[in-house]
Amino acid sequence: MASSSLSSSSLSTLRKSLAIANSTPNSNSHSVSFPNFQQKTLPQTLTTNRKHLTHSSTNSTAVPAVSPPRSLKSRLKNGETLYGIFLLTFSPTLAEIAGLAGYDFAVVDMEHGHGGISDALPCLHALAAANTAAVLRIPESSAAWAKKALDLGPQGIMFPMIESPKSARKAVSYCRFPPNGVRGSAHTIVRASDYGIDEGYLSNFEEEVLVMCQVESEEGVKKIDEIAGVEGVDCVQMGPLDLSASMGYLWDPGHKKVKEALRGAEKAVLKGKAAYLSGFVMPHDPATELRRRGYHMVSGAADVGLFRSAAVEDVRRFRASLVDDDDDAGKESVVVAEEKYWSE
């Protein structure tokens, strides 16, 4: 009994010491608190997605309880409009910056970007560190690509060039294990299941993974209502550039006929109410317009495009400053010459 009393007394003393160290001079609180730096240093959109630590005041040893970030699916069901970016450089640094900047999601693009699965993984690590949802766009709609992408554990997968309900059903089947699909199974060891640590993966993965089918051709637009209605298709991603090319307007994506086809496709998806609508911002079609027309996921930029624009503007400013300096130097030389003339 003496030993037990001594241990309790020592623990009580330790608790009081910790509380004093973490409280203000006039505070009488005996709970351990941790400063929250995120509210001061990170965008509000990011801090709402960050994991928060909660501390129990009833147990003698407080164990942090980590709340996982909400999935893209749950946020869409909640009626949110999500804003994202496409990543084509496969730079983990840029992926991390994108996450910290506050984007709701980032699409690691293996269709038009140079990288593959091994290049995408470091980007997923960086996005996970920034608590930002990752979507993988695969280069073609095939079981092999879908399997490798899904095993990495993204929150979403995007299938390009879906032109019929048949190809949409195939895409969904690539995301499901037998007997409901044809996805190869290595769930006991892959990253998607936390390398087998997540024992509930098989029960939850279909509810977590956002299946996105990209409709980007005239043929696909004609059947978009059927594509959007396929069970398991969560989101229809519009592809305005490829659509304009398929209609013969490669150099004019803002052509009236392209706009008409796009608007008709959007209305068909929204009318069906089976799938969410996702799309790209264009120079003639800003994010505010996409949101107004009912888009639920809006991608505003690509890392390559952002860097290109910033780099071109930086060089332009510098060269403009050289011209301004030359003009100023010319004016100064004229003034000096005039002063010398009159002084003589």
pLDDT of residue 35: 33
Q: Look-up: residue for tokens 């050289």?
A: 322
pLDDT of residue 323: 87
Q: Which residues of the chain have pLDDT under 70?
A: 1-69, 328-344
Q: Are 91 and 98 in contact (CB under 8 A)?
A: no
Q: Are 157 and 108 in contact (CB under 8 A)?
A: no
pLDDT of residue 334: 52
Check residue 108 and report its DSSP letter.
E
pLDDT of residue 149: 98
Name, in order, each residue with C-beta under 8 angstroms of 313's C-beta and a sequence gap of 6 or more: none
Q: How far apart are CA 330 and CA 112, in angstroms?
A: 49
Strands 156-159 and 210-215: parallel
Q: Which two tokens stand for residue 225?
A: 């209502």
State the catalytic residues. 112
Q: How far apart are CA 53 and CA 39, in angstroms?
A: 14
Strands 65-66 and 276-280: unpaired
pLDDT of residue 324: 77
Enumerate the H helices of 24-105 as residue ranges.
38-41, 44-47, 72-77, 92-101
Q: Which of 181, 78, 91, 72 is nearest to 131 (CA)?
A: 72
pLDDT of residue 51: 37
DSSP labels for 113-158? Answer: SS--HHHHHHHHHHHHHTT-EEEEE-SS--HHHHHHHHHT--SEEE
Check residue 283 and report its DSSP letter.
T
Enumerate the H helices of 175-275 as residue ranges.
201-208, 218-222, 224-228, 240-246, 256-272
User: Model-level pTM greater than 0.85?
Assistant: no
pLDDT of residue 70: 82
What sign for the dihedral angle of Cα 305, 311, 314, 319? negative
